[in-house]
Chains A and B, each alone.
Chain A
Amino acid sequence: MNEKYARITKDGLWDNNVVFAQMLALCPTLAVTSSATNGLGMGLASTAVLLLSNIIISSVRQFISAEVRIPVYIVLIATLVTLVDMSLNAWVHELYKVLGLFIALIVVNCAILGRAEAFASKNSVFDAALDGLMMGIGFTLSLVVIGGVREILGSGTLFANAHLLLGSSFAFLETTIVPDYKGFLLMILPPGGFMVVGMLLAAKRVLDQRRAAREVVAVPEAVAS
C-alpha cells in the first residue's frame, strides 16, 4: 500500500511531471513563467483546482459513462474554476488581484483534464486526491524553477514582488542576484520560455539516463548475490 503512495508521489513530482514528462500545460507554463513569483501563483492556483477536480471526478466515476465522459469532465472543471474565481474575487480580493489573471487560464490547462481522464476516473477518491496534490506540487515546482531561471537570466532578480502574492511577511524572498543587471530581454519574452524549458528538459533527461544506467549496473549484482 505504502509503495503505491510512494509511486503516486514520485510520479507527480518527477517521473511523470506535468511539464517535464507529460509535456502538458505548456501554454500557461510559457505564458506566466516570466518570474518565479508568477510561476508560484499559477502553480498554487492550478494545484487547488487539480486537487478538487480529481476528488470530484473520482467520487462520481461510477455514474459517468465512457461515451460522454469528456464533456462531463470539461463542464465540471470549468464550473470548479469559475467557482474558485468568484470566491477569491469576493472574499480574498487582494489575492485575486494578483492571481486573477492566472485563474481563467486554468480552464485551458490540459493537465487537469489529463489527470481526470488518466487517473481520477479509474482510482479511489483518496488515491485521486493524492495524485492531484502531487501532480500539482510537481507542476508548481516546475513553474517556479522555469520562472526562477528566466527571472535570474532576464532581470537579475529572484522572487521579485513576492510580497504581492504571499503577503509582506514573505518579502525576504525577494533577492537581487546580480546587482545593476542591465536585463536580458529575450529571457523574459516567450522565446526565452521555450529555451529554458528545452534546456531544463534536456537536463532532466540526462539525469534520468544516468540513473537508469546506474540501476542496470546494480541489478545484475543483486541477482548474483
Chain B
Amino acid sequence: MKLEELRGKLVYQGILLGGVALLTSAALSFASRATEADIKAAEAADLKQSLTQVLPGEYDNDLLKDTVTLHEPGGDVLAYRARRAGKVEAVVYRVTGYGYAGAIMCVMGVSREGKILGVRVISHKETPGLGDKIETAKSNWVHAFEGKWLGEPTADKWAVKKDGGIFDQFAGATITPRGVVKAVRGGLELFDKERATLLDETGAKP
C-alpha cells in the first residue's frame, strides 16, 4: 500500500503516535543516563563552591560528606561541618527568608564561636534591579553580615535601618533585605540552640 493511503487509516495514527512516543522516550532515557553523572558532579561542585564561599580558611575534611540534620519545627536543616584535625571549626547551613516575591534561599557559614563567616543568597525571585542587590554579583550588601553575632549588634539592632537596626535597606526595596536579615538572625539563633549538636560535642558517637 502507498504511504498516502496508509496515512488516512485509524491504525496508522495509533502506530504513529505510539512510535513517536517510544522513540522520544528512548532518546530521553538514553540522554538522561548519559548526562546523569555529569549533572550530579556539576551540582556537587556548585554546592561545594557555594559552601566554601561562606567558609574562608582551610579545612581538612570532605564538607559534603560530614553532615548533620537538625529537626526543627520549620523543617529539617541540613548542616555541613568543616573540621580541622577532627574538631568542628565551622558549620554551614541553609536558611530561608521571605521577601517581596516568595522564598529567598541563603546559605550561611558560622564559626564555632558563633560569628558569621559569610552569607550568600543562592536563589530568590525578588524584583530585578531593586531587590536583587542581595546577590554578590549586584552589590556588596550581603558582606555586611560578616563578623556579626547575636551580641554584636544587640538583639534590637538586628534589623534594617528603617526598623531601627544597623543593616542598610535598598532604595525602593525594604522587604527584601528585611527578609534576609530576619533569616540570618534566625540562623544564628538556631546555632545558639543547637550548638552542641552542630559542633559534634554531644559526647555521643555519630
Contacts and interface: CB of A to CB of B under 8 A. Distances in A.
A38 to B, nearest CB: 8
Interface string A103-137: 00000000000000000000000000000000000
Contacts of B129: 34, 154-155, 183, 185, 188
B13 A91 contact: no
B20 A72 contact: yes
Interface string B6-42: 0110001100110011001001100110110011001
Contact of A71 (B12, B17, B32, B35): B17
Given A35-B128, A65-B8, A188-B128, A86 B16 contact: no
A24 interface: no
A185 B28 CA distance: 42
Nearest to B8: A65
Contacts of A62: 3
A75 interface: yes
Size class of A's contact patch?
A: 20 to 34
Interface in A135-190: 154-155, 161, 164, 182-183, 185, 188-189
A67 B7 CA distance: 9
Question: Which of B13, B16, B46 has the most chain A CB atoms inside 10 A of its CB?
Answer: B16
A218 interface: no
Contact of B16 (A72, A82, A83): A72
B172 interface: yes
Interface string A76-107: 10110011001101110100010000000000
Contacts of B46: 93, 97
Interface residues of B, number: 28
Contacts of B3: 62-63
Nearest to B172: A185
Contacts of A86: 31-32, 35, 39
A90 B36 CA distance: 7
A179 B28 CA distance: 48
Contacts, number: 74
B24 A89 contact: no
Contacts of A161: 137
Interface string A51-66: 0000000000011111
Interface string B97-128: 00000000000000000000000000000011
Interface of B: 3, 7-8, 12-13, 16-17, 20-21, 24, 27-28, 31-32, 34-35, 38-39, 42, 45-46, 127-130, 137, 171-172
Interface of A: 34-35, 62-68, 71-72, 75-76, 78-79, 82-83, 86-87, 89-91, 93, 97, 154-155, 161, 164, 182-183, 185, 188-189
Q: 6 tightest A-B contacts by CB? A: A90-B35, A90-B38, A93-B42, A79-B24, A65-B7, A155-B129
